[in-house]
Structure 1
């Protein structure tokens, strides 16, 4: 199986389970569940849950018993997109090629749809009684911190504070990108390392990979916001520039951003080189990010 086949197979597997999860028990709440499912099932690459399942397989585990945990990661990611698009945040009207949640359902229900997906994710994680309780408790703690005020929510608050201040510098840009994006990739990998009984050496390799992979993703995302096509990407381009936000393109230059992305991807691949052929998917995954901007 090659990289594209693997990604498509796992995406299909995850999508099928996501379609089963959110069913209202109370008919009066149906509109909320409709709004939640609208964004959750709108498409997307399912990169975070696939990454989580792939690391488990690298560590020799059967991924099937962990599918709901993978879906919980996607619920949190989707919540973050709904809130990020709100009028009080980036005020975007297109996501994954469709009108954003607040455009369809209004800002109030969209906010609640995001709230619902976030809290449901942790309910779903806590339901996994077939998993080792101590490991699951560690996973919930790790992911709650990564998604909360010390991580992604903190990053979003910092992003709001930085609007109109494109001169936050490299250290500010690194903090922003790590908190908003990189920390969730890192958490997904850390969860898999916990559940997959990774050795100390494997944990370090995977942690280093996560840092460099997250950076690769964010730099290429910045490049695409500058050079991409709205129809292809399924979301508005140029929003960072309109909101006067610092990016790797504005802070450096397009050629330098491309060089930094390549450097980060190569560092990620090098971090897992000792894992050998079993880590082929992780290597191909980070290198594929470079093809998005070539």
Structure 2
């Protein structure tokens, strides 16, 4: 109990920042979308409908291996839940417990408030390294939470609202001396990031990868151990590739068909195949 109180006091600013994130989310989007049985807001067309219908089709399909595939979208062909942007890590988890869930079930509201909370907590944790006053930390946190692109992404390209992944990638750079001078810790956190990025949205792989390059540079300069400094990169890439494989990202057998053949570009008039037309 004493240890918990100490932990609570030590992390109070971070917890308040997370609470601010939740408050901002509810203020902007309301509480109705947090109802897992309320799905009407997802069927207004556009990307939101794609995300939700991708989850519905994935949920209704049989389990396969790789586990992220479904034949419900383009039977008899299989499609990975990665490509419907349905937040695969949530889709797989909720499919596991699907038998106890109601027929109409959505997790995108949960995802939204989850992103806002983590955006607040991780930004506060990073700012704690540079600022002493709690009021300044919380003020700085507000800029991260209220970032226009973060708010806009939330229910446009929902999976891409996970800006906290970028903050989590920055965290080891900021706290290198305190926690991540040991390669083991860096390998673990960037391995986890590889799993998360590839199971949330693949766009985060190159984004977080660029931040990781910054960490590698810091590690090489300070530790003077080149091979050991590269281990987090191997961890990040290997975990990312394995996760994509398990989610069926490499299972597509789509054909290019007439790509490059049924087309007409500026050089086609003098192309050898059409030269006889001009004779």
When the two structures are superposed, what TM-score results if normalisation uses the length of structure 2?
0.31
| Structure whose alpha-carbon radius of gyration is higher | 2
When the two structures are superposed, what TM-score results if normalisation uses the length of structure 1?
0.30
Q: Say which structure, 1 or 2, has more relative contact order (CA 8 Å, 6+ apart).
A: 2
Q: Which is helix-richer, 1 or 2?
A: 1
